[in-house]
Structure 1
């Protein structure tokens, strides 16, 4: 998964690279992840994406409307990606060797573009965002419905589980605890804005020790080791009921 703390490597990329497709075949038997959302819902969601209008409540409770949140490092805000505006920056970050090791999206700009379009043209299960600190883009995030994602095949999913992927873009922002600060802030944003969500999840690569440390410092707990298609991951969970204790 994409690095969480640039000090933690920079990235804690998705469970499969590029972003897992909800239509991938399941392991055995009937796969509930193959269930489709109503066509009219998908059509309205895509229309809202094209026009930039908040046409309806979506699967992630309108991430773009969450607004800024204070952190010890300054005001932080998630802003949904606009391809024409943000692709050059995100592609440059993906070609940083420290990021590429985990995200596996290095190469021509079209590689990153395809990864973003898979989400922007989907049904809203995953929302790619830039992270702005004091108004400056410095990180890339994916907020996604873990219970509707292929990840749910590999752990006991609960309704409205919400996953996060993160990479810290600038080298100067890595290795100084900023990843932990932002992870805690975003996890708290999810729990505050998504009242139906009881848990925020992530699955960093077990080899990425700094990333694991960043999650632990951000109030996540280690839940299990999980064999995903492209890595052995640590399932990290931040529970609503424990948020004031960790």
Structure 2
């Protein structure tokens, strides 16, 4: 287990998780903002996109109260991403996540997850900043991230191909400078 915070636990993804991930990533409600409703996943596609890769991304499952409810990944930004985002050589991590079990939406768990992951990255990985690039058209996610201390940095026009269209995204960041109180 990477960390636990109250009922929330995060652990590295395992091969056996492919089936629950395929279930979540076949749900149109989940796919509306993550991957796209035109891209449902099979267990084999989970293997290809999430399990059989060596790309510096740490892929994790999210458990809440003993139930697998979601997914989160983190990774140090590479030189190309830092250049696109306009960062120098700082130690910056990116994160992406979703709650796949929709009955757990709107309960504050996403906020707890993001705050916990940011704290983990700062304390355990010495992250200076943590960034995400959510779609502009996802106000629920943006509200969650803002509650966690993320701020909009810049608009990324046509950043993400989603359901056949390139969607605008926000570059948002959590900056540890001035964060003496922590999350």
TM-score above 0.5, yes or no: yes
Is residue 2:8 matched to residue 1:76? Answer: yes
Residue equivalent to 2:164: none
3-state DSSP of counterpart to 2:82? helix
CA RMSD of aligned residues (A): 2.0
1:1-246 map, 5 Å = 66-68=2-4, 70=5, 74-83=6-15, 85-104=16-35, 105-117=39-51, 120-123=52-55, 125-148=56-79, 151-157=81-87, 158-195=89-126, 197-227=127-157, 228-230=159-161, 231-243=167-179, 244=181
Larger radius of gyration: 1
Q: Which has the higher contact order (CA 8 A, sep 6+)?
A: 1
CA distance in 2 between partners of 1:76 and 1:82 (Å):
18
| TM-fit CA distance, 1:178 | 2.0
Q: Name stretches of at least 5 consecutive residues in structure 2 with no aligned partner.
A: 162-166
Conservation of the 8 A alpha-carbon contact between 1:95 and 1:107: yes
The separation in 1 between residues aligned to 2:123 and 2:24, in whole angstroms, is 29
Aligned residue pairs: how many? Answer: 172
Q: Structure 1's 75 and 229: CA in aligned 2 closer, same or farther, altered over 3 A? A: closer
The answer to which structure has the higher strand fraction is: 2
TM-score (norm 2): 0.84
Which protein has the bigger helix share?
Answer: 1
The whole-number CA distance in structure 2 between the counterparts of 1:162 and 1:121 is: 18
Runs of 4+ in 1 over 6 A off after TM superposition: none
Alpha-carbon separation, structure 2, partners of 1:161 and 1:198: 6
CA distance in 1, matches of 2:178, 2:78: 20
SS at match of 1:232: strand
Instruction: State the distance in 2 between where 1:184 and 1:222 align.
Output: 16
Which sections of structure 1, spanning at least 5 residues, go unmatched? Answer: 1-63
CA distance in 1, matches of 2:24, 2:83: 30
